[in-house]
Amino acid sequence: MGGVTSKRSNSAQSSSSSYSWDHNRYAQPSYAPSSYAPPSQDYVPQPHYATPHQGYGGQAPDSKRRLERKYSKIDDNYNSLDQVTEALARAGLESSNLIVGIDFTKSNEWTGARSFQRRSLHHIGDEQNPYEQAIAIIGKTLSSFDEDNLIPCFGFGDASTHDQEVFSFYPDETFCNGFEEVLRRYRELVPNLRLAGPTSFAPIIEMAITIVEQSGGQYHVLLIIADGQVTRSVDTERGQLSTQEKKTVEAIVKASEYPLSIILVGVGDGPWDMMREFDDNIPARAFDNFQFVNFTEIMSKNMDRSRKEAEFALSALMEIPSQYKATLELSILGNSKGKAIDRVPLPPPQYGASSFSNSKPSRSSSFRPSAPSPARHDPPVRTTPASSASDNHVCPICLSNPKDMAFGCGHQLCRTHRRWTKNQHCDALRETLMFCSNFAHAKIALNNFHSISGRSSLNFSQVNSLTSVYKGSLGEPLPATTRTLTPSPMEDKKYSISIIIPAIFALLHFGLIGAVDQIRPRPSTGRQGTWQLLRNNTGVVAMHMALTHRNTVIIFDQTAAGPSQYWLHRRYQGRRNCTHSREDLQDSSCYAHSVEYNIEGNSLRPLRLDTDTWCSSGSLLSNGTLLQTGGHGTGAQRIRYFSPCDTDQRCNWRQSKRFLSDDRWYASNQFLPENDRVIVVGGRRVFSYEFVPKLHSTDGSFNLPFLHQTNDNSAEGNNLYPFLHLSSDGNLFIFANRDSILFNYRRNRVMKTFPRIPGGSRNYPSSGSSVILPLDHKDRFQKVEVMVCGGAASGAYEAASNGRYLQAQRSCGRMIISGNRHQWKMENMPGPRVMNDMLILPTGNILIINGAKRGCAGWNNAATPSLQPYLYKPKKRFGQRFSVLKSTKVARLYHSSALLLPDGRVLVAGGNPNHRYMFRNVAHPTELRLQTFTPYYMSQQYHHLRPTNVSIQYSKNSNGIAYGKDFTIQFRLGRRPSTNMEYNVYAPPFATHSISMNQRLLKLRSKNMVRGLDGLITVVLEAPPSPNVAPPGYYMLTVVNQGIPGLSQWIKLIHS
């Protein structure tokens, strides 16, 4: 992306460019003749890289070739930033995702000779260095194009990565929250780095490809800030590319197969000739995906700073509209190939003051399965190195003036001690070794070194040449000989090889040396929450999940997916043991398809499933038993029960001898206020409802015309898994497709028909989500408001069948269903979302999590995972309710689910858009990792506000709390309770397919509060007035102080 500084400015210089390009080959160096160059020879053809030919949405070859020619070279067609912004809007780019890579190669120490007063470009001082300036200005320019402001940041080229790896700015691969944090973290890292090399952009580009792949093909912009050329060692033959050049070109070509734009911002003195060639002339790309911007040239212009920043913004964004449009027209956007290198960054290096090791990490650490790291604290960083006993054993500039590093510093060598010293009292001869600022142009062939090393001494120009050789082939140790020092006049000073070689080695390898203190927590970056990986493998996909009052989670999948990842030694069906024979390895009954997860022990126990539960439904009964209904095939009419028990007992699934009246596949359940019964509504090609358990053997199903009316025959219904909410008047709210009714299930009568929600369909396979907002004692729980968010675009199912993934809806609608005035009030989420889960947090806020930004539900019907949860605060003013939370790295698409746990965390699991358990060569592999998302309110910094030791006092001889009765709780609080205290009870849901069935939260009335000794507080609460408001059963009671919840305790609501 060169903007005015690239294509326009260098068109007149093309004849003098360092490289010429063949359309079917790599760069062909065409250096001017020089004394160091090897004899001229014919160019040896490089491997031919044809334009990538993988299928892009099934386009015809001729059509695709025309598009590739159209975007093979993108011109700079805009004259103002407003024009670029308008073009982005026309192309449909609302936002993108930024990735930042910073160059920490050794050349940064001398490429600021002209532009940065002969200091290292990474010099940390009172004024900003060129990297800091670029980061700050780029932040102003590009941050508005990143919707979540979470930026993955990496460094490369230091002594830990060389030209092979990248390191993350944080050990746990945490993203930086905005460019302010990028700048802060950069300043923390620099003192603890050792600049090295060689220079290659391939690792950072491959890292960006990995991120794009993991996001499901979401559009990204990779921003590389670097000081100059890719390393071209002097032993590279004329007409050939160096290893680093070749790998960089290959990476750029590979990146053009992905929705990824690359902006390279050049700081320092350059030279930049090859960067311009990367920008304009690399052949064989799906589209022109590279833009070079000369930051130094722009910022050195004689104009107002604001005009410079505007010109830089224009140059950086010039080609983005066309590049984004290319990813759309070439059907690259949203396609996840599943073949990218799974590159994993190294942790940021931390070198102590006495550490000299420059060995690279093992290559085996560079490529491993990507999994979120458990939360952990970052190591400390220092802006200046600490002194140590070994100070006099290293170059004095690294200790006495660490900010300047090693450029033009006048290193002093003690002749007597034969070591670098800062001992100012040494009487032996000191000699100053000045390094030329023109390192990048020193020319000497590496294969001539041995003839030079045979001499007894070297003059200054030879020292400079040796330094360049080493810079060009960094990582290969230089041979050394033992000679004596030969004094000579300063103009023709000679140096002993035995001293010069180690000196060069030290200067080029030993960058700034820091010290490592004890680990300290990273400062808080906001109220975004944290992610933690609990288990790498649950064995089964969490298509369905339910929390029990025994603090266990029941997880189950379908049995029709074939072998899971949980092997059983003894099959459930039949007495024969499972062996590792081919027959048994393919036998589904030799694998578990359901597990019980113990929260406290973080352990799993396999459970038995006799029939297929694929896309079924469930509810928790008043005694805590999980009632589970329907499924597929032989399981479509089955009724199953799971009664949780103590951990030392072996409770399991049991199947009822009675059957459902109709097949219930993609149906929904709601637990009812009376008779401990559940209503089961809908299903695929089933337009009825029925009750479970059956009170009489003759009980059947009842026709529901509303389901006929809302069925879209052309889109798999768009009314499967209807949203059900029990209203406080005892009637049932039913939402299907875009319409909703209030239904009296006792009389089979529609009481109200509500307005249609704006936008597209919201139910499977369009799969939005819905909650009933918290009910409040202040209005006697009579105000009932539902909320529906997300869903697929109209026509998304048909488009996905043809490989096109339409952007999901980003709208939410709220409507009060009680009273007589009903109208949907619409507002937008921070981004589009489909297959999202909605959970009510203990605070009464809504968490929107999981899902995708494009496509719909179904097998491989979605792309671009939604990795950032949203927090919605219903009580805030319109326009201030949404916020974006901490991003995850794990895509949770079709067949994923989420649950609220008693300790306030959110359990997240599942995801399998494939017909079977598949982990390779698919866009989105089967996901078995188990995570928790911990909202900000669980942070240690709020511990002083958190209620603790909550206990509930039941009436004598009672096993629960009767409706409308008072009951007492006690808890401890470190300070006086505020007036903002809440006592909330939460009904845990049955979660599947973006629906949390039976979920509800009630805010109870506090009638009396007494403060005792040691912070003990006693509160009298009033139970909900009727089962219409809160059906009988187990609830989680949470005490919330100033928005900070304590740990929940189970209570049971019962009939008196």
Q: Residue 835's closest CA among 927, 736, 911, 772?
A: 911
Q: Which of 295-304, 568-577, 689-698, 901-910 has the lowest mean pLDDT?
A: 568-577
772 has a pLDDT exceeding 90:
yes
What is d(CA 771, CA 790) in angstroms, rounded to the nearest whole number?
Answer: 12
Q: Which tens digit of pLDDT belongs to each residue from 255-278? A: 999 999 999 999 998 877 777 666
Give me the mean pLDDT over the 480-501 stretch. 38
Partners of 432 in beta bridges = 412
Give me the mean pLDDT over the 156-167 stretch. 93
Query: 82-231+242-330 maps to which CATH number?
Result: 3.40.50.410
Q: Which DSSP letter does residue 212 get?
A: H
DSSP output for 40-93: P-PPPPPPP-PPP-S-STT--HHHHHHHHHHTSS-----SSHHHHHHHHHHHT-
**Residue whose entry in the numeric block shows the structure tokens 């550490």:** 355
Q: Which of 50-64, 249-263, 422-436, 452-466 has the lowest mean pLDDT?
A: 422-436
551 has a pLDDT exceeding 80:
yes
**Contact present, 904 and 1047 (Cβ < 8 Å):** yes
Alpha carbon 689 to its chain centroid, in Å, reads 41
pLDDT at 177: 80
Distance in Å from the first CA to the final CA of the chain: 73
409 has a pLDDT exceeding 50:
no
Angle between helices 460-472 and 497-509 (to 10 degrees): 40
Domains 82-231+242-330 and 530-558+593-940 fall in the same CATH topology: no
Helix/strand/coil percent split, the chain, to 5: 20, 25, 55
- Distances in whole angstroms, Cα of residue 489 to Cα of each of 114, 178, 857: 28, 55, 80
User: Which residue stretches of 555-704 are H helix?
Assistant: 582-585
Residue 594 phi, psi dihedral angles, 5° rounding: -150, 145
Find which of 274-288, 467-481, 917-931 is predicted with most confidence, using mean pLDDT. Answer: 917-931
What is d(CA 182, CA 74) in angstroms, rounded to the nearest whole number?
Answer: 30
- The one-letter amino acid code at 300 reads S
For domain 943-1054, the CATH class is: mainly beta
438 has a pLDDT exceeding 70:
no
pLDDT at 43: 28
**Contact present, 512 and 400 (Cβ < 8 Å):** no
Q: Which of 455-469, 672-686, 852-866, 939-953 has the lowest mean pLDDT?
A: 455-469
**Contact present, 690 and 699 (Cβ < 8 Å):** yes
344 has a pLDDT exceeding 90:
no
Give me the mean pLDDT over the 586-591 stretch. 81
Strands 896-900 and 948-953: unpaired
Neighbours of 536 (CB within 10 A): 11
The domain locations on the chain are 82-231+242-330, 530-558+593-940, 943-1054
466 has a pLDDT exceeding 60:
no
Q: 489-516 as b/e, with b when 16 or more CB fall inside 10 Å? A: eeeebbbbbebbbebbebbbbbbbbbbb
**Contact present, 999 and 984 (Cβ < 8 Å):** no
pTM of the model: 0.57
pLDDT at 515: 28
Alpha carbon 603 to its chain centroid, in Å, reads 26
10-15, long-range: CB within 8 Å, 24+ apart, which pairs?
Answer: 10/276, 10/280
Mean pLDDT of all residues belonging to the chain: 77
Q: Residue 748's closest CA among 785, 705, 699?
A: 705
Q: Which DSSP letter does residue 968 get?
A: E
More confident residue, 924 or 410: 924
What is d(CA 824, CA 831) in angstroms, rounded to the nearest whole number?
Answer: 20
pLDDT at 321: 82
- pLDDT bucket at 41, cuts 50 / 70 / 90: very low
18 has a pLDDT exceeding 70:
no
1045 has a pLDDT exceeding 80:
yes
pLDDT at 688: 98
pLDDT at 335: 67
Q: Which tens digit of pLDDT belongs to each residue from 228-245? A: 778 877 677 777 888 888
771 has a pLDDT exceeding 60:
yes
Give me the mean pLDDT over the 527-552 stretch. 95
What is d(CA 120, CA 108) in angstroms, rounded to the nearest whole number?
Answer: 6
Q: Residue 350's closest CA among 313, 378, 389, 309?
A: 378
What is d(CA 123, CA 491) in angstroms, rounded to the nearest whole number?
Answer: 30
What is d(CA 475, CA 470) in angstroms, rounded to the nearest whole number?
Answer: 8
578 has a pLDDT exceeding 80:
yes
Task: Select the CATH number that applies to the domain covering 530-558+593-940 from these four: 3.30.360.10, 2.130.10.80, 3.30.110.40, 1.10.1660.10.
Answer: 2.130.10.80
- pLDDT bucket at 320, cuts 50 / 70 / 90: confident
pLDDT at 849: 98
887 has a pLDDT exceeding 60:
yes
pLDDT at 507: 40
- pLDDT bucket at 581, cuts 50 / 70 / 90: confident
493 has a pLDDT exceeding 80:
no
- pLDDT bucket at 148, cuts 50 / 70 / 90: low
